[in-house]
Amino acid sequence: MRGNLLYLDKESGLHKLHPLTKLAFTLFLLVCAAALADLIWLLAAFVFLLVPLAWWGRVISPVLRSGLAVITPFVISLSLIQGFFTGGETELFSVGSFVFTLEGWLAGLTVAARILVALSGALLLTLSTRPDALMHALTQRGLPNGLAYIVLSSIQIFPRFQDRAQLILQAQQARGLETQTHFVRRLGLLVPLTGPLILSSIVDVEERAMALEARAFSRAGRKTSLLVLRDSLGQRLVRLALLTVGLGLVAMRVWYLLQ
Amino acid sequence: MISLRNFSYRYPSQERFALQELNLEIKAGQFCGVVGANGAGKSTLCYALSGFAPHFFRGEVQGQGLIGKLDIAKSSLGELAGEVGLVFQNAFNQISGARFTVRGEIAFGLENLGIARRQIQARVDDVLDALNLTDLASRSPYELSGGQQQRVAIASILAMRPKVLVLDEPVSQLDPHGTEEIFKIIEMISQSGETTVVLVEHKLEWLAAYADRVLVLDQGRVVMDGPARSVLASADMMKLGIGRTQYSQVAEIARKQGLVSDAGLLPVTLKQARALFR
pLDDT tens digits, one per residue of B107-152: 999 999 999 999 999 999 999 998 889 999 999 998 898 889 999 9
CA count, 13 A, side-chain hemisphere, B153: 31
The pLDDT of residue A58 is above 90: yes
86-115 of B, contacting A, C-beta below 8 A = 86, 88, 90, 92-101, 103-104, 107-115
Contacts for B16 with CB less than 8 Å, ≥ 6 apart:
B10, B220
CA distances from B26 to A16, B2, B14, B30, B35 (A): 51, 5, 28, 7, 16
pLDDT digits (tens, 9 = 90+) for B242-266: 999 999 999 989 988 988 877 788 8
Q: Which long-range contacts (CB under 8 A, 24 or more apart) does B244-248 make?
A: B244/B204, B244/B268, B245/B204, B245/B205, B245/B208, B245/B269, B246/B205, B247/B205, B247/B208, B247/B272, B247/B273
Element (H, E) at B33: strand B31-36
Return the pLDDT at A1.
40
Contacts for B10 with CB less than 8 Å, ≥ 6 apart:
B16, B17, B18, B59, B60
Mean pLDDT calculated for residue range B214-218: 95
Average pLDDT over chain B, rounded to an integer: 91
Q: Do A209 and B56 touch (CB under 8 A)?
A: yes
Mean pLDDT calculated for residue range B54-82: 92
Q: Do B140 and A2 touch (CB under 8 A)?
A: yes
The beta-carbon neighbor of B121 closest among A1, A149, A226 is A226
pLDDT digits (tens, 9 = 90+) for B236-248: 998 888 999 999 9
**Terminal CA-to-CA distance of chain B, rounded, Å?**
40
Q: How far apart are CA A197 and CA B4, in angstroms?
A: 40
Q: Do A210 and B52 touch (CB under 8 A)?
A: yes
% of chain B residues with pLDDT over 70: 100
pLDDT digits (tens, 9 = 90+) for A134-184: 999 999 999 998 899 988 888 888 778 888 888 888 888 888 887 777 888
Q: How far apart are CA B118 and CA B79, in angstroms?
A: 22
Q: Do A214 and B107 touch (CB under 8 A)?
A: no
B131: nearest Cα among B160, B97, B101, B154: B154
Q: How far apart are CA B214 and CA B237, in angstroms?
A: 12
Q: How far apart are CA A74 and CA A80, in angstroms?
A: 10
Higher pLDDT, B40 or A158: B40
The pLDDT of residue A108 is above 80: yes
Q: Do A156 and B93 touch (CB under 8 A)?
A: no
Residue A143: CB atoms within 10 Å: 15
Return the pLDDT at B113.
93
Contact B74, B190 (CB under 8 A): no
CA count, 13 A, side-chain hemisphere, B264: 9
Residue B77: Cβ-neighbour burial (10 angstroms; 0-12, 13-18, 19+): buried
The pLDDT of residue A186 is above 70: yes
Q: How far apart are CA A154 and CA A161, in angstroms?
A: 10
Residue A179: CB atoms within 10 Å: 13
* Confidence band of A2 (pLDDT split at 50, 70, 90): very low
Q: Is A142 on the interface with B (CB under 8 A)?
A: no
* Confidence band of A32 (pLDDT split at 50, 70, 90): very high
The pLDDT of residue A3 is above 60: no
B170: nearest Cα among B87, B108, B232: B87
Higher pLDDT, B155 or A86: B155
Return the pLDDT at A4.
57
Helix (H, G, I), strand (E, B) or coil at B237: helix
* Confidence band of B11 (pLDDT split at 50, 70, 90): very high
Average pLDDT over chain A, rounded to an integer: 89
Contact A109, A116 (CB under 8 A): no
% of chain A residues with pLDDT over 90: 54
The pTM assigned to this predicted structure is 0.83
152-171 of B, contacting A, C-beta below 8 A = 153, 156-157, 160
Least confident of A178-182, B154-158, B206-210: A178-182
The pLDDT of residue B3 is above 60: yes
Higher pLDDT, A205 or A231: A231
Mean pLDDT calculated for residue range B162-187: 89
Return the pLDDT at B146.
86
Provide the Cα torsion A43, A46, A48, A52; round to 10°.
Answer: -160
* Confidence band of B103 (pLDDT split at 50, 70, 90): very high
Q: How far apart are CA B7 and CA A247, in angstroms?
A: 63
Q: Is A191 on the interface with B (CB under 8 A)?
A: no
Contacts for A75 with CB less than 8 Å, ≥ 6 apart:
A108, A109, A112
The pLDDT of residue B10 is above 90: yes
Q: How many CB pairs under 8 A join A and B?
A: 123
Q: Do A224 and B116 touch (CB under 8 A)?
A: yes
Residue A32: CB atoms within 10 Å: 23
Return the pLDDT at B120.
96
Q: Do B100 and A156 touch (CB under 8 A)?
A: yes
Q: Which long-range contacts (CB under 8 A, 24 or more apart) does A153-159 make?
A: A153/B96, A153/B97, A153/B98, A155/A4, A155/A5, A155/A131, A156/A4, A156/B97, A156/B100, A156/B140, A156/B142, A157/B97, A158/A4, A159/A3, A159/A4
B56: nearest Cα among A207, A202, A150: A207
Identify all chain A residues contacting B139, using CB atoms and an 8 Å cutoff.
2
Higher pLDDT, A204 or B87: B87
Q: Which of B80, B113, B127 to mutate to test the interface with A (most CBs of A within 10 A)?
A: B113
